[in-house]
Amino acid sequence: MQPDSTDPQPEPAGALSAVPAAGARRATPVSGHLRFYYGPMDCGKSTLALQVDHNHARQGRVGLLLVRMDRSGRPQISSRIGITRPALEVGAEVDVRELVRSRWARGERVDYLIVDEAQFLTAAQVDQLAELADDSQVDVYCFGIATDFQGRLFPGAARLVELADELRPVQVDVLCWCGQAARFNARVVGGRVVREGDTVLVADTETARGATEGDDDVSGSGTVGATVRYRVLCRRHFRLGDLGTTADVQGQLAFA
C-alpha cells in the first residue's frame, strides 16, 4: 500500500478557501502594483530590471522603460552582463502620469513601467507612479539603491518605502572586503570614507556612469576635484569607515 498515491494531496494553503489569502487578493488585477527592488551597487538590479521586462514582454505586454539621471547621453538600462535596452530619461520636472497618458493618447499601449535608478525620483514622481498603479492598472517596477553614502534613504527610495505594495531586497551577492554582505555605499575620496557633501554626486563622464550602479570606480567628478569612488561595505565597516587593507585595490568588485 502506498498511502501517497491514494490519499489526497494536501491542499496548498488557502487555495480553495472562500476568502482568498491576502496574497491571492493582491493578485487580482483590480489595480496595478508598485514594487521597489532595492540593493547596493553592483547587486544586479539593472539585470533584474531587464529580466522583468523580458518576462512581461513574452506575455505580450507592452512596457515603458524609464531611467533617472542617466549621464551617458544615451538613456538606457544597462546591465553588467552586457544587455542594454534604450530607456526614456525622466527628469525631475517630468510628470510620469502625463508621460504615460500621452502614449495612450497616441494609441500606444503601456501595460507596465520599469524604472531604473528609482532612488533619484522625486517624491512627487513616486506619488504619480502610485496613482498610475491605483487608477490606471499600470504595474510599476522600480529598481534602485535604498541608501546614500551617509546611509540615509534617498528621497525617491524613502517615498517608495512608504508607498510601494512590495519591497524586495535584491539578492545580494556583493561582499564587503571582510566577507560580510555589503549593504552600504560608501563614498571614498583620497582613500578615505567621506560622510559630507551632496547627496547625489554622479560623475559626468560616460566612463564614470557607474556612480550608482555598475563600476564602483567613479572618477572625473568636477565637484570635489578629487577622484570619487564608491565602495560597498557591510554596516560595521561602513560605520567605522574602515576600507580594509584592500582600500587601494581598484576594481575589487568589477567582476564583469
Annotated active-site positions, please? 117
Distance CA 145, CA 53 (A): 19
CB of 179 to Zn ion, least distance (A): 7
| Closest to Zn ion by CB, 180 or 223 | 180
The amino acid at 212? T
Q: For residue 148, what are the CA distances in angstroms to 106, 110, 122, 143?
A: 38, 31, 15, 15
Q: How many residues line the site for Zn ion (CB under 5 A)?
A: 5
Angle, alpha carbons 82-117-103 (nearest 5°): 95
CB of 241 to Zn ion, least distance (A): 11
Query: The C-alpha cell of 76 is what?
Result: 538606457
Q: Which of 176, 188, 218, 243 binds Zn ion (CB under 5 A)?
A: 176
CB of 211 to Zn ion, least distance (A): 22
Q: Which of 116, 159, 237, 243 binds Zn ion (CB under 5 A)?
A: 237
Which of 132, 112, 119, 107 lies closest to 41 in space, CA to CA? 119
Q: Which stretch binds Zn ion (CB under 5 A): 2-10, 135-143, 194-202, 231-239?
A: 231-239
Residue 240 interacts with Zn ion (CB under 5 A)?
no
Q: Which stretch binds Zn ion (CB under 5 A): 26-34, 134-142, 156-164, 172-180?
A: 172-180
Binding residues for Zn ion, per CB under 5 A?
A: 176, 178, 180, 234, 237
